[in-house]
Amino acid sequence: MLMNMKEAIRQALGLALSAHDEVLIFGEDVGGVGGVFRVTEGLQQRFGEDRVFDTPLAESAICGVAVGMCTQGFRPIVEIQFIGFIYEAMDQMLVQAPRLRYRSGGRYQAPLTIRVPFGGGVKGAEMHNDSLEGLLLQTPGLKVVAPSNPYDAKGLLLSAVRDNDPVVFLEHLKLYHLFREEVPEEDYTVPIGKAKVVKEGAHITLLAYGAMVLPSLRAAKELEAKRGVTVEVIDLRTLAPLDMDLIVASVTKTNRAVIVQEAQRTSGVAAEIIAQINERAILSLEAPVMRIAPPDTVYPFGQIEDHWLPTQARIVAGLEKALDF
């Protein structure tokens, strides 16, 4: 069945509720309204107010209640309306939930899924379009997922709900309605921690995630037509844990790498991947690993974001720089 990402996520949530009585969905306006982006629309009508319900406007309380529910055998799925609002819940997200298993000596687990819309390109400005995944990566015990397409979104979300560790599930705003693709209606999973080669190549590795995968694929094809090389494009899919085995295998083959991220340049996913490539495959490199990212400024308002975000042209330029080094 053809689905966009929003529809694929909604179907995954419905399957999770049907398959597991201990699954609950709650957050601001997720019940009657269906969430700020209508992702949970219709689920309260199907499963009742005991399974899908609204909460006060208090992110710290939402995640705090969810952590407590985990200790009582539930598998809560919570929605934070925009990624800029996670600051209110960081103690629960980054301290309480990820350390629950360790602190209790394995007595308790934290099968918590936190759904968070993120990313730009929709003219929403800061606090709504930020990419804050870099803040999450240094938290032991926390898994971070960022799908780029409807098929992966459904399978990764079902994996997240069934995982006994907390998972932050990042849903890029631009991808909710950007395109449709064939998605099986039945239950299936995509493994957390496994990247995917979406295009094979021999001369340079291009790494991306979320909304940066599509422009990366277009940039790869443009470069190939222009330079007569082939580009291997990898969709990271999971940011924590990173699939470094696949990344290193690709870099060892191509001897060059470029990483695209929508988050500001300093720290974050690209910096971590560069560090690990240097540790594990530096002798395979024929050029420094390049990163393409916005500048270290606050996310801009309005039309300025078109000049701030990585574009196909900037990705092509980065690939050429790596090839010509």
For 79-128, the pLDDT digits (tens) are 999 999 999 999 999 999 999 999 999 999 999 999 999 999 898 877 88
With cut-offs at 50, 70 and 90, classify the pLDDT of residue 247.
Answer: very high
Q: Which positions are catalytic?
A: 128
Q: Residue 190 corresponds to which tokens in the numbers above?
A: 């995509």
Mean pLDDT of the chain: 96
**Which candidate, 317, 207, 215, 208, places its Cα nearest to that of 256?**
207
pLDDT value of residue 220? 98
Q: What was the pLDDT predicted at 86?
A: 96
Share of the chain above pLDDT 70, in %: 100
Q: Give me the pLDDT at residue 117, please.
A: 97
Range scoring the smallest mean pLDDT among 24-38, 136-150, 284-298, 301-315: 301-315
Which residue, among 228, 230, 233, has the nearest Cα to 203 in the 3D structure? 230
The helix (run of H) or strand (run of E) holding residue 313 is: helix 312-324
Phi-psi region of 284 (alpha: psi -120 to 50; beta: other; left: phi over 0): alpha
Element (H, E) at 3: strand 2-3
For 158, list phi and psi in degrees, rounded to 5.
Answer: -65, -35
DSSP 112-124: -EEEEEE--SSS-
What pLDDT score does 304 carry? 87
DSSP code string of 262-290: SS-SSSHHHHHHHHHHHHHHGGG-SSPPE
Instruction: Give the model's pLDDT for residue 9.
Output: 98
Strand, helix or coil for residue 71? coil
pLDDT above 90 as % of the chain: 95
Query: What is the distance between the alpha carbons of residues 181 and 47, in angstroms, rounded to a whole number?
Result: 27
Has residue 191 got a pLDDT over 80?
Answer: yes
Q: What is the pLDDT of residue 302?
A: 78
Q: Decide: 203 and 110 in contact? Cβ < 8 Å.
A: no
Residue 64's alpha-carbon distances to 32, 71, 96, 97, 325, in angstroms, are 22, 11, 8, 9, 50
Looking at residue 75, its pLDDT comes to 98
**pLDDT greater than 90 at residue 319:** yes
How many residues in the chain? 325
Query: Minimal CA–CA distance to 84: which of 47, 119, 45, 56?
Result: 119
CA distance 294 to 137: 19
Amino acid of residue 215 = P
User: Which tens digits make up the pLDDT trace of 256-290?
Assistant: 999 999 999 999 999 999 999 999 999 999 999 99
Q: What is the rounded radius of gyration, in angstroms, for the C-alpha atoms of the chain?
A: 20
pLDDT value of residue 125: 76
Question: What's the pTM value of the predicted model, to 2 decimals?
Answer: 0.96
pLDDT at residue 301 greater than cutoff 90? no
| pLDDT value, residue 109 | 96
| pLDDT value at 140 more than 80 | yes
